[in-house]
Amino acid sequence: MIKAGIIGATGYAGQELVRILLGHKEVEIKWYGSRSYIDKKYYEVYQNMFEIIEDICLDDNIVELANQVDVIFTATPQGFLASILNEEILSKVKIVDLSADYRIKDVATYEEWYKIEHKSPQFIEEAVYGLCEVNREDIKKARLVANPGCYTTCSILTIYPLAKEGLIDMSSIIVDAKSGTSGAGRGAKTDNLFCEVNENMKAYGVASHRHTPEIEEQLGYASGEQVVLNFTPHLVPMNRGILATAYANLKDGVTEEMVKAAYDKYYKEEKFVRVLEKGMMPQTKWVEGSNYVDINFVVDKRTNRVIMMGAIDNLVKGAAGQAVQNMNLMFGFKESEGLELVPMFP
């Protein structure tokens, strides 16, 4: 049994971490960190935890926390962990960071897209990008894991096999993605009010969304070439879920059979990636509440393009579930421990 602490436990991703870890037989939560609700009982913030959690919310004192637990999850805004992380902390505890602070290897790129100065760039090279299906062996040895973003998890896993096998023109990729409103966090924002979101759908962050360089960097590693792509996210009136639809030109001579073989090669043995049968399209409702990624593709012979589709729950595989999957690898637990979550319907 290991002890875990969560900083940012009262955000949507933090609450999902709590829900998942309560069902994990190898973990005990010792610290519910929340700057906004210090000294409040956790169930007073999330009433679904009434008579389940009696603990009060504590502060975000990571120095003290590192002395009490084996792993820390930081479900915090960009810049928080980078501003306080030091060698003393990392020598005591393993960290899974759900922010973008250590995802991007180039400091200048991070600072350009996130508009903040990186305060601890000395840890960027060490941090392992926590996409378990790609970096599993490195994650097992890591003490600092950068948990991927929700859009990036869905987009990269959807495209990865074809990028890795060199079947698509990497300069032709377009990613069109839709997310439920929980992806915007729990903070009070006018754009997230019911009257703004309901019966509405909109693009945002057009040509400027901060997940763009993360997707480009990881697909660049996969393909062995520099990648520049178009990524356009949309907000849709649902609580959870991401659907990413990606388009790319097939290289000469690439057939539908070759595309299917690539997906099977990389995902046939993956517990949480489900490559659907021909004609079955990924839908957010069939992954809701689970750590699964549903993926499929269609080859458009008329245009010689491939249409790649992926669906995830943004709070589980796109955040908390993937963080727990990373933790399981870091501590040598069964990778699926605590994550045997059957998708909810309706």
Q: Which of 72, 54, 56 is nearest to 64 (CA)?
A: 72
Give the CA distances from residue 87 to residues 6, 72, 123, in Å, rounded to whole numbers and listed in that order.
Answer: 19, 15, 9
- Bridging pattern class, strands 174-179 and 230-235: parallel
Give the CA distances from residue 331 to residues 75, 272, 327, in Å, rounded to whole numbers and listed in that order.
Answer: 20, 19, 6
Q: Name the β-bridge partners of 202.
A: 235
Q: Which of 97, 102, 87, 31 is nearest to 60 (CA)?
A: 31
DSSP 214-267: HHHHHHHHHHTS----EEEEEE-SSSS-EEEEEEEEBPTT--HHHHHHHHHHHH
How far is it, in rounded angstroms, from Cα 154 to Cα 338?
21
Neighbours of 53 (CB within 10 A): 18
Catalytic residue ranges: 150
DSSP 38-106: TTSBHHHH-GGGTTT--PBPB---HHHHHTT-SEEEE---TTHHHHH--HHHHTT-EEEE-SSTTT-S-
For residues 48 and 42, is the Cβ–Cβ distance under 8 A? no
First to last CA, the chain: 34
How far is it, in rounded angstroms, from Cα 193 to Cα 200?
11
Please report which helix (H) or strand (E) contains residue 170, including its range: none
Residues 6+ apart with CB under 8 A from 309: 158, 243, 244, 245, 246, 281, 282, 295, 296, 297, 298
